[in-house]
Structures are given as C-alpha cells and as structure tokens.
Chain A
C-alpha cells in the first residue's frame, strides 16, 4: 500500500524567508510518480510538479525547487523568498504506475502561512 507523510502540519514564516516543506513516502512499486499540489483558501487544487521514480534530478522553477531522494524516500519542496501569496495548504502526493491508471494518494498537507 502506498502512503505519504507530511509531518509538518502548519508552518509560519515571515515574508522573504525560505521555507522547506517535507514529504516522505512509502510504496512497494519501483515505478511511481510524486506530486506537489497547492490548495489556496478558494479550495481548488493547483498542480505544481510531477516527478517519476526514475528521475532524481532536482528541479527549480522560479522560487520553487524540489529535492527528490529515493534513498530516503523523500520529496521535499522549498520556496525561496516566500511571499504572502504563497500562503496555502500544500499537499504531497504519490501515484503508483503499475496499473493502467493513476490513483493518487495524498499526504495530510502542510498549511503554510507567510506573514507580511
């Protein structure tokens, strides 16, 4: 069975600080996908990134960066120079690829509050 753990329930940072959101996952599959989603107060799920299990290369997109380490089963997300608009709940998620479709398992989310 697949499982995603986000140990940080809530984080508060002051604007312009860097913040890292932790994600640890469990899966028996060798082929899987990892995701991060942002959920602003309006409630929709905003897709941020997807990585497959064969690609451990770190990725940077503007102020966002992701660190994928298979050895520790972690997929951490860093926001550099945080802004108030980054305030949201962030979900890490996992999908196994063995089946022909993708059921996504979400973590419990980390609520990020960026204080001006």
Chain B
C-alpha cells in the first residue's frame, strides 16, 4: 500500500541553523501539506501546496519557513534560522484532489507521514 515517507525521523540542530525536512508524498497525489505538533499539544496546519504554489498558509508559517517541490518526488520544508520554539514533530501529508471539483464530491483521503521530530538546542 502506498504511503507517505519522511526523513529523517529525528533531527537535532543548534539554534540559528537551517534545517530541511523531507517528505516523499504518494506518487499520484497533487496536494501536499505540512503540519506541526509541539510536544503535548495539538497538531496544527502550517501550509498546503499545489501546482508548485502555496495554496494556503497559517499564521505560524512566517518568513522563516519555506516549502519546495524540488523534483517530481520530494516535498521539503525549510526552516531558515531555527528557534527553540521550533522544536516539534512535523508531519507531511498528501492527497489526490481533483482541482476542478469542490465540495464533498472532491474529497480524497489525506495521508499523513510518520513525522520528523525536530529538536532545537
């Protein structure tokens, strides 16, 4: 069964360093997402990405964050200068949605990856 994969599973970095979290979405999926979960808290939406553009981003997703689909398979989240409060679990997700449809008929399952635990020291 196809699945979303994420690497690394755990990343430790020093404050101020740049990190890139990598995700390989399911191959025929068109929409990609990043979510963040600070330890002990809820999972929060960061950004959605379609057709090489950000379709929506939350207020958490400030200028320190960027996303990219550098090739046909990877989807990355970059944090330019990490802060202590960036320590969290980061989940990637992907879905296949027909962009010409809206409403319930367009729904397709959003599959989550296993997450990358980022620790900023």
A99 and B102 contact, Cβ closer than 8 Å, known pairs A104-B110, A105-B45 = yes
Q: Do the beta carbons of A53 and B104 come within 8 Å of each other? A: yes
- Complex CA distance for A105 and B89, rounded to whole angstroms: 16
Chain B, Cβ-Cβ closest to A102: B110
How far in angstroms is the closest Cβ of chain A from B61?
12
Give chain A residues whose Cβ lies under 8 Å from the Cβ of B35. 104
How far in angstroms is the closest Cβ of chain A from B50?
7
Interface size on B, residues (CB 8 A): 33
- Complex CA distance for A109 and B89, rounded to whole angstroms: 15
Instruction: Determine which residue in B42, B44, B103, B114 has the highest number of CB atoms from chain A within 10 A of its CB, and name it.
Output: B42
Give chain B residues whose Cβ lies under 8 Å from the Cβ of A31. 103-104
| Other-chain residue from B45, B99, B109 in contact with A100 (beta carbon distance below 8 A) | B99
A102 and B103 contact, Cβ closer than 8 Å, known pairs A50-B109, A107-B42, A109-B42 = no
- Complex CA distance for A109 and B42, rounded to whole angstroms: 6
Q: Do the beta carbons of B43 and A45 come within 8 Å of each other? A: yes
Chain B, Cβ-Cβ closest to A4: B42
Q: Which 10 pairs across A and B sit closest by C-beta, in order of nearness? A: A106-B43, A44-B114, A108-B42, A101-B31, A31-B104, A45-B112, A106-B42, A97-B104, A100-B102, A101-B97
What are 20 A-to-B residue pairs whose CB atoms are below 8 Å? A43-B89, A44-B114, A45-B112, A47-B112, A91-B42, A95-B110, A97-B104, A97-B107, A101-B48, A102-B95, A102-B97, A102-B108, A103-B33, A103-B45, A103-B56, A104-B45, A104-B93, A104-B110, A106-B42, A107-B42
* Sample of 17 further A-B pairs with CB below 8 A, known A33-B104, A43-B114, A102-B110: A31-B103, A43-B115, A45-B91, A45-B115, A52-B107, A91-B42, A91-B43, A93-B43, A97-B104, A98-B103, A99-B56, A100-B100, A100-B101, A101-B50, A102-B107, A104-B93, A106-B42
